[in-house]
């Protein structure tokens, strides 16, 4: 099959409004978690989140068209435009027919759903905006991106909870490998920092309530973690068939070489014992890439800062990699700084892996003040980023319903 490379990156996150500033913040170990400002959260048990502070959608979308999409669409358009710009891609009309748009979304337009439900209740059905449906349905994230950029290849959304962005990238990779298209805009977008989003996860007791110290709240692998911190944002890659990219002289960040996807078939929200499904996803990604475990230098863990999830992922890594975990395998969770972007997490963390491979820098896990004894078998790169020439990196994304994705990337040569 054809080889697939990463030639562009774009991001809008709690740590920065573009990929460069986000990466600098994450490498420096700076948290983007703050008290919620997007709505009044004073009555909520969890009052903290990762918000894209200062994001101005009108920089990327005409003001009159903003009403055509909720915030998750605006974030997707912005990150995609930045990714295309960073790639230097300027396709002909004919080439645009072979460029696809694959963007994962977990929760769709919650904020507009809430406002429209209130309008229905207070003013009746005649006052519902005709833009309501296209502004909230998940596939309008890639749909609006394709219209904005004029890309006429396949366009669809993967919706698989917190694996959505990872699935989108993996599926886009497959389409390029098969020869069905040459280029893809792929990643994830999410904007669920709303009353329903925060309230729903709080009702599940999934969120941290460390409201007095927001920047310390997301603490994967730490003994005192008490839940994840919800966040919003988008992370987008430009994927290209390698020869296509080389012909146009593109800068190549890394090569996307493996994709593993599994289901736990176990529980609504809890991972399978010993991370069995996660193990298989990582194993399948390495098999797909024709790589041995000895080649893996870095894993960007899903590790959301939940008591159960972090331990099960550690067990999965320990079971699969064995002695390799004591021989230079580094594992970190960038969610300690960004919070958990839900359906966009896999897209953003794939962006981080591409940057790590290109620059030879592994971002840290912050807030590991007292490592959980069950996580101590791993080197989680506590507090400080490290420099190292990397060969292979894995990006893990796991979601409710037992859905698991691992992406494997390799330094390009």
Options 108, 162, 353, 375, the catalytic residue: 162
Both tokens of 156, joined, read: 């669809």
**In degrees, to the nearest 5, what angle opens at C-alpha 269 toward C-alphas 220 and 379?**
25
Active site residue 267: no
Q: How far apart are CA 178 and CA 173, in angstroms?
A: 9
Both tokens of 73, joined, read: 């669409």
Pair 369, 219: CB distance under 8 Å? yes
304 φ/ψ sector (left φ>0, alpha ψ -120 to 50, else beta): alpha
3 φ/ψ sector (left φ>0, alpha ψ -120 to 50, else beta): beta
Q: How far apart are CA 224 and CA 315, in angstroms?
A: 19
Residues linked to residue 35 through DSSP beta bridges, in sequence order: 48
User: E strands of 323-384, at which residues?
Assistant: 330-332, 361-362
Pair 285, 394: CB distance under 8 Å? yes
Options 15, 302, 375, 412, the catalytic residue: 302
Pair 223, 370: CB distance under 8 Å? yes
User: E strands of 123-263, at which residues?
Assistant: 155-156, 183-190, 233-241, 254-263
Q: How far apart are CA 235 and CA 14, in angstroms?
A: 12
- Give Cβ neighbours of residue 131 (< 8 Å, ≥ 6 apart): 67, 68
Q: How far apart are CA 260 and CA 284, in angstroms?
A: 5
227 φ/ψ sector (left φ>0, alpha ψ -120 to 50, else beta): left
Q: How far is CA 305 from CA 16, 31, 216, 270, 272, in A?
A: 21, 14, 11, 14, 17
Q: How far apart are CA 388 and CA 394, in angstroms?
A: 15
Active site residue 412: no
Active site residue 162: yes
Both tokens of 151, joined, read: 């890309």
- Catalytic positions: 162, 302, 340
């Amino acid at each position: 099959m054809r080889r697939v490379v990463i030639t562009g990156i774009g991001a809008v996150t709690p740590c920065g409004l573009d990929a460069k500033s986000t990466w600098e913040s994450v490498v420096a170990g700076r948290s983007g978690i703050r008290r919620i400002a997007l709505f009044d959260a004073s009555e909520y048990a969890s009052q903290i989140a990762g918000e894209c502070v200062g994001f101005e959608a009108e920089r990327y979308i005409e003001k009159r068209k903003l009403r055509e999409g909720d915030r998750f669409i605006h974030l997707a358009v912005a990150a995609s435009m930045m990714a295309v710009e960073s790639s230097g891609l300027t396709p002909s009309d004919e080439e645009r027919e072979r460029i696809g748009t694959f963007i994962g979304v977990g929760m769709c337009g919650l904020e507009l759903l809430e406002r429209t439900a209130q309008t229905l209740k207070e003013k009746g059905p005649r006052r519902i905006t005709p833009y309501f449906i296209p502004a909230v349905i998940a596939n309008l994230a890639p749909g609006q991106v394709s219209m904005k950029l004029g890309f006429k290849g396949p366009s669809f959304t993967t919706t698989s909870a917190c694996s959505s962005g990872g699935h989108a990238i993996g599926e886009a990779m497959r389409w390029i490998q098969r020869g069905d298209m040459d280029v893809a805009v792929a990643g994830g977008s999410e904007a669920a920092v709303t009353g329903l989003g925060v309230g729903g996860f709080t009702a599940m007791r999934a969120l941290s309530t460390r409201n007095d110290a927001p920047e310390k709240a997301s603490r994967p692998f730490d003994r005192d973690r008490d839940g994840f911190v919800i966040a919003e944002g988008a992370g987008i890659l430009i994927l290209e068939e390698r020869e296509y990219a080389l012909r146009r002289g593109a800068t190549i960040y890394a090569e996307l070489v493996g994709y593993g996807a599994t289901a736990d078939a176990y529980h609504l929200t809890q991972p399978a014992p010993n991370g069995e499904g996660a193990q298989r996803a990582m194993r399948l990604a390495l098999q797909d890439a024709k790589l041995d475990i000895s080649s893996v230098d870095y894993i960007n863990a899903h590790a959301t800062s939940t008591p159960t999830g972090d331990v099960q992922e550690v067990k999965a890594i320990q079971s699969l990699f064995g002695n390799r975990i004591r021989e230079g395998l580094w594992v970190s969770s960038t969610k300690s700084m960004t919070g958990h972007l839900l359906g966009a997490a896999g897209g953003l963390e794939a962006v981080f892996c591409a940057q790590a491979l290109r620059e030879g820098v592994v971002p840290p896990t912050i807030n590991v003040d007292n490592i959980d004894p069950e996580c101590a078998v791993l080197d989680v790169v506590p507090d400080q980023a490290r420099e190292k020439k990397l060969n292979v990196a894995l990006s893990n994304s796991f979601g409710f319903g037992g859905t698991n994705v691992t992406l494997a990337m390799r330094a390009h040569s």
